[in-house]
């Protein structure tokens, strides 16, 4: 390893250096690099309305809260409308470097996600492509995502023990069959871990979102951090529960409690601490969203 490669690997906490394209996928991505979030923006394409699981903290009239601010409903776009939105945004806001699909439901459960990615790959090959998923369909879709140019992948992983997972998920709808209880949690977990391992194998830049749910998984988040370290995930994003649906009566963690958990897990694996819980149609720099400009269109 040259000294420059060593420096770069060291900054990003790897034993082996990232290649230059991977470095760009970190350094120009506002979620994966805290430095990038001041300079670069992302745009979400809200093309995926349906979801295949039920998280006990999600009211499905709104956006997927695994990566969104609860209570927000994004306008769903067709793939063609989404591409037109990209054309407009990169002219209006050239600092937008990342195209993400994060809902409003589960991206991998909506064929429109793949149609959109194909159109994006043809017309905007240089943009960084990002996705956030619950992971249920990841093992069967990850190679296709990689082919279509998705470089940055997030999976929401709230538990690595199905006995805890069964408290978080009401059901999983997998290949036309509805599963509940421990069985549902087992299927989901197995697929999340398998899919993430393949992402790492393919050289994708990976992130795990973990919702901190007091009394349900707060004592277990450290095990999640250990597991993601073991499989080589780049970043963990611990998010505070916003109580609704079946978890409406749970007292959410305070900012200080969330911070303490991030500090604790930070000793095991790299932490994201600047997440803004975006809408599924967010556009702009994190915390400086500009999507209203397009809402009348």
Least gap, CB of 93 to ligand SF4 (angstroms) = 27
154 sits in which H/E element? strand 150-156
Between CA 234 and CA 33 the distance in angstroms is 11
Footprint of ligand CLF (CB under 6 A): 31, 42, 44, 67, 98, 100, 102, 130, 132, 152, 154, 237, 275-278, 286
Only segment of 6-14, 40-48, 54-62, 79-87 that touches ligand SF4 (CB under 6 A): 54-62
Q: Could you say which residues in the range 228-267 bind ligand SF4, by CB under 6 A?
A: none
Q: Could you say which residues in the range 33-52 bind ligand SF4, by CB under 6 A?
A: 51
Q: Could you say which residues in the range 67-106 bind ligand SF4, by CB under 6 A?
A: 105-106
* Whether 203 contacts 22, CB under 8 Å: yes
Residue 64 touches which member of ligand SF4, ligand CLF, none, C-beta under 5-8 Å by kind: ligand SF4
Classify residue 223 by burial, with Cβ atoms within 10 Å: 0-12, 13-18, 19+: middle
Give whichever of 28 and 183 is closer to ligand CLF, judged by the CB atom.
28
Give whichever of 60 and 264 is closer to ligand SF4, judged by the CB atom.
60
Only segment of 38-46, 62-70, 251-259, 282-290 that touches ligand SF4 (CB under 6 A): 62-70
Query: Would you give the distance in Å from CA 47 to the centre of its chain?
Result: 15
Which tokens belong to 76?
């769903």
Least gap, CB of 52 to ligand SF4 (angstroms) = 7
Give whichever of 106 and 167 is closer to ligand SF4, judged by the CB atom.
106
Give whichever of 89 and 98 is closer to ligand CLF, judged by the CB atom.
98
Closest CA to 119 of 142, 105, 111, 152: 111
Residue 158 touches which member of ligand SF4, ligand CLF, none, C-beta under 5-8 Å by kind: none
Give whichever of 108 and 204 is closer to ligand SF4, judged by the CB atom.
108
How many secondary structure helices (H) and strands (E) does the chain include?
10, 12
Residue 66 touches which member of ligand CLF, ligand SF4, none, C-beta under 5-8 Å by kind: ligand SF4
Give whichever of 172 and 280 is closer to ligand CLF, judged by the CB atom.
280
The contacts of residue 99 (CB under 8 Å, 6+ apart) are: 42, 43, 45, 86, 120, 124, 127, 128, 129, 130
Start-to-end CA span in the chain (Å)? 51
Between CA 38 and CA 31 the distance in angstroms is 10
Give whichever of 61 and 249 is closer to ligand SF4, judged by the CB atom.
61
Omega of the bond leading into 134 within 30 degrees of 0 (cis): no
Query: Would you give the distance in Å from CA 106 to the centre of its chain?
Result: 11
Q: Could you say which residues in the range 104-163 bind ligand SF4, by CB under 6 A?
A: 105-106, 134
Footprint of ligand SF4 (CB under 6 A): 51, 53-55, 58, 60, 64-66, 105-106, 134
């Amino acid at each position: 390893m040259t000294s420059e490669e060593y420096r770069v690997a060291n900054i990003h906490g790897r034993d082996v250096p990232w290649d230059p394209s991977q470095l760009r996928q970190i350094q120009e991505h506002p979620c994966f690099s805290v430095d990038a979030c001041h300079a670069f923006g992302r745009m979400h394409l809200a093309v995926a309305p349906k979801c295949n699981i039920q998280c006990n903290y999600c009211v499905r009239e709104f956006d997927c809260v695994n990566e969104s601010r609860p209570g927000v409903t994004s306008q769903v776009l067709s793939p063609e409308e989404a591409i037109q939105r990209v054309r407009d945004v990169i002219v209006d806001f050239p600092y937008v470097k990342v195209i993400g699909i994060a809902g409003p439901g589960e991206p991998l459960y909506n064929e429109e996600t793949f149609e959109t990615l194909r159109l994006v790959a043809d017309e905007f090959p240089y943009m960084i492509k990002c996705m956030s998923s619950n992971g249920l369909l990841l093992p069967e879709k990850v190679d296709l995502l990689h082919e279509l140019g998705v470089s940055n992948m997030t999976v929401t992983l709230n538990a690595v023990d199905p006995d805890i997972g069964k408290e978080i998920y009401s059901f999983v709808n997998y290949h036309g069959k509805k599963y509940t209880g421990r069985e549902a949690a087992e299927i989901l977990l197995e697929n999340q871990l398998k899919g993430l391992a393949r992402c790492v194998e393919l050289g994708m830049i990976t992130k795990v979102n973990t919702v901190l749910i007091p009394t349900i998984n707060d004592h277990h988040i450290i095990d999640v951090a250990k597991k993601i370290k073991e499989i080589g995930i780049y970043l963990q994003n611990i998010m505070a529960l916003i109580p609704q649906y079946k978890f409406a009566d749970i007292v959410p963690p305070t900012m200080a409690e969330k911070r303490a958990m991030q500090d604790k897990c930070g000793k095991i694996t790299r932490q994201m601490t600047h997440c803004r819980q975006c809408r599924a149609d967010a556009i702009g720099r994190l915390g400086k969203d500009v999507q209203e400009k397009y809402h009348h269109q």
